[in-house]
Structure 1
Amino acid sequence: MVNRRHIRIKVMQSVYAILQSKSDDLTKEEKFLLFNIKKTTELYVLQLLLMVEVRNLALEHIEIKKKKYLATHEDINPNLKFINNRLIRSIVDSPEIKAYVEGSKLTDWKDNREYVRILLDELIESELYKDYLNDTEDTYYNDRAFILDFFKSIVAPNEKLFDFYESLNLSWVDDYPLVNTNVMKVIKQMDKDDYFTLSQLKVKEDDEEFLVDLFRKTILHQQEFTGEIDAKTPNWDTERIADMDMILIKMALTEFLYFPSIPTKVTINEYIEIAKDYSTRKSSYFINGVLDKLLKEYNKSGRLKKIGRGLL
């Protein structure tokens, strides 16, 4: 599931982009933001299809060995446990995956088979693969456990694969951990006769509304917030404050004033955590200090209007 923190990160990136470009076309930027977050589903599908393509390449190798002039008994009678893996079959047979691939015309692994080969080579050399083929237990749950381990230990941490995704879409750098977590979560939950769906990465209607509102309101009020931040940081020249810190503070202030159902503690904690990953080493302390001062001022002046108990 695309969570609120991931949505905030996407908004942060779009706010940064529009401020840097000095564009005033909010509608265009909103459309790009929505398109960008929906591309997360494409990354999810690519990660699933990648395991299918590794299986397909393994089958190609088996067929080639069978046709060798001096084929061995093992070449002619190969172990097909991986080829017949039931979890892989549930990806191949998924109606939603098929429809998405056809609609999006995804051809990434046919055009970039070197990454499939890299993963297959690593898999074949692993003890995980050897143990799986030698295991006499032949059940759906055994197949599922193997694919989960394959994904977790070989696919997800592969640096060449990560670099490839980054070259395709820079925003996928931030999506990659979220997608991999979702892939592993879904695999763990799969049962016999289940098919993979895309519901895990769909953005809920209220989350999409939050995304657009947070982006638009942050941009529309950002000049106003600059003055308020200046007033609470008299020893800091605005130009000395990191751009990302300013954006995160402004987004938090937007949530304080224009999102009455979001508790202020949640807002503060979220932006402090995002700052730890996306800004300077001391940013989280600076952001916390500024937000604390402005929150007290908003409470005192009556500008803060939260709905429900425990929201301050």
Structure 2
Amino acid sequence: MINRVLIRTRVLQTAYAHLHRGELKLTAAEQDLMVGLERTYDLYLYLLQLIPSLTDFYQEVLDVRRRKHLATREERSPNLRLIRNRFAQQLASSEKLQNWYNQFGLRWQDDETLLRHLIRLIEDSSLYDDYLKGSTESYEQDQNFWADAFHHLFAADDLLNERLEQQSIFWENDLKIQEKIECEERPSGEEEQVQAVIEEAKSMGQYQSTSFANGPVEVVKDFVEKTLRKAVESQPIDEQILPMFREEEDETFARHLLRQVLVKHDEYLKLIEPILTEGWSSERLADMDALLLRLGVTEFLHFPGIPTHITINEYVELAKHFSTAHSASFINGILDAMAKRLREEGKILKQ
């Protein structure tokens, strides 16, 4: 499940945090990296577990409604199709998911406000109306209902996202790297000054945040939806839940990329300096831009199986989220020139 997009993002965050702390201990950096990746995988499993947990809670809600003194006819005899949903039952039967959930520190059941909110979203939706009106019942219809509910009702829900963030599993910046801030006058001093501007903007209702389309959280949501849609009734659900790493080489890629950029960050900056445009020295580079360039050079030199254009595109996308408004084009130009020079010098052979 952890793909190269997620790995590059987490390596960037980890390296930035450690360089700014003045910590270059590889063991500590690798440990932080793996914790970040594990949290990302936890989010994947946690969101899958939402469906059986919400189904159990809905059963409790229907039971309470049924016992009301002045229960309506519909409350006394509710439609139980969602409770009998075959796909939810299949997820509930997963030993892998239940074993993980039993050892995990968070419980969906501990937040009744959120669960009631999600139930209301479902019951008020045309998606739910159409589901109940279906003339036939099948596994495919049950599966499609939950996949569509996750996509249309849950994935962008503000309260759900807020709760996940509060529970410290939703972190985009779990190593407290930096927040991308775009304002007319950004203070050039310490982090405290930047934070003061953020707080002032929030208090005045002028603060806005946007999700990173290729960031860890959004990528995880995509994998959750793919898992929901690709499951089949004839196969055990445990075989369809994605592992943390699809291939062992992905974990190796993560560790090696982090090691090289930390160990050789000064050396790589010296390689980049001759490419910098006139008027730009390494001292004038934004810290994030300098790190993005170093990571690009690391991939050029140490990962022959990754084409240079793939590397460039990936770090341009990261620059759009983590650096300034002009950084993406800057990163693109410097890395493209760097790749050409390294090929001319025979240091890389790939295209």
The match for 2:254 among 197, 211, 218 is: 211
Q: Displacement, 1:108?
A: 2.5
Which residue in 2 is equivalent to 1:190? Answer: 231
Q: Displacement, 1:179?
A: 1.5
Question: Is residue 2:177 matched to residue 1:145?
Answer: no
Which residue in 1 is equivalent to 2:106? Answer: 107
Which residue in 2 is equivalent to 1:36? Answer: 36
Which residue in 2 is equivalent to 1:247? Answer: 291
Which residue in 1 is equivalent to 2:52? Answer: 52
Please say which of residues 120-129 and 49-58 is displaced more in the overlay: 49-58
Select the structure that is richer in helix.
1
CA spacing shift, 1:292–1:75, aligned 2, 3 Å: closer
Question: Is residue 2:125 matched to residue 1:126?
Answer: yes
Please say which of residues 90-99 and 157-166 is displaced more in the overlay: 157-166
The TM-score with structure 2 as length reference comes to 0.81
- Matches of residues 146-295 of structure 1 in structure 2 within 5 Å? 146-167=145-166, 168-169=168-169, 170-171=171-172, 174-197=215-238, 199-203=241-245, 204-233=247-276, 234-295=278-339
Cα deviation digits, residues 157-188 of structure 1 (max 9, x gap): 11121122223132377322112111111121
CA distance in 1, matches of 2:273, 2:37: 32
Q: Displacement, 1:32?
A: 1.6
CA spacing shift, 1:213–1:49, aligned 2, 3 Å: same
1:219 maps to amino acid: L
The TM-score with structure 1 as length reference comes to 0.91
- Secondary structure class of the residue paired with 2:9: helix
Please say which of residues 7-16 and 269-278 is displaced more in the overlay: 269-278
Q: Displacement, 1:201?
A: 4.3
CA spacing shift, 1:296–1:119, aligned 2, 3 Å: same
RMSD: 1.9
Asked if the contact 2:261/2:298 (under 8 Å) is kept, the reply is yes
CA distance in 1, matches of 2:137, 2:343: 63
2:152 maps to amino acid: S
Please say which of residues 176-185 and 67-76 is displaced more in the overlay: 67-76
- Number of corresponding residues: 306
CA distance in 2, matches of 1:67, 1:199: 38
Please say which of residues 83-92 and 154-163 is displaced more in the overlay: 154-163
Asked if the contact 2:24/2:262 (under 8 Å) is kept, the reply is no
Q: Displacement, 1:295?
A: 2.2
2:227 maps to amino acid: V
CA distance in 2, matches of 1:2, 1:105: 19
CA spacing shift, 1:147–1:14, aligned 2, 3 Å: same
Q: Displacement, 1:89?
A: 0.5
Q: Displacement, 1:220?
A: 0.9
Asked if the contact 1:91/1:195 (under 8 Å) is kept, the reply is no
CA spacing shift, 1:280–1:205, aligned 2, 3 Å: same
Which residue in 2 is equivalent to 1:21? Answer: 21
Unaligned runs of 5+ in 2: 175-210
Asked if the contact 1:2/1:200 (under 8 Å) is kept, the reply is no
Identity of aligned residues (%): 32
CA distance in 2, matches of 1:231, 1:93: 59
Cα deviation digits, residues 249-279 of structure 1 (max 9, x gap): 1001011112222222221222222222332
CA spacing shift, 1:22–1:126, aligned 2, 3 Å: same
CA spacing shift, 1:65–1:166, aligned 2, 3 Å: closer
Which residue in 2 is equivalent to 1:8? Answer: 8
Unaligned runs of 5+ in 1: none
CA distance in 1, matches of 2:99, 2:144: 27
CA distance in 2, matches of 1:65, 1:289: 63
Which residue in 2 is equivalent to 1:300? Answer: 344
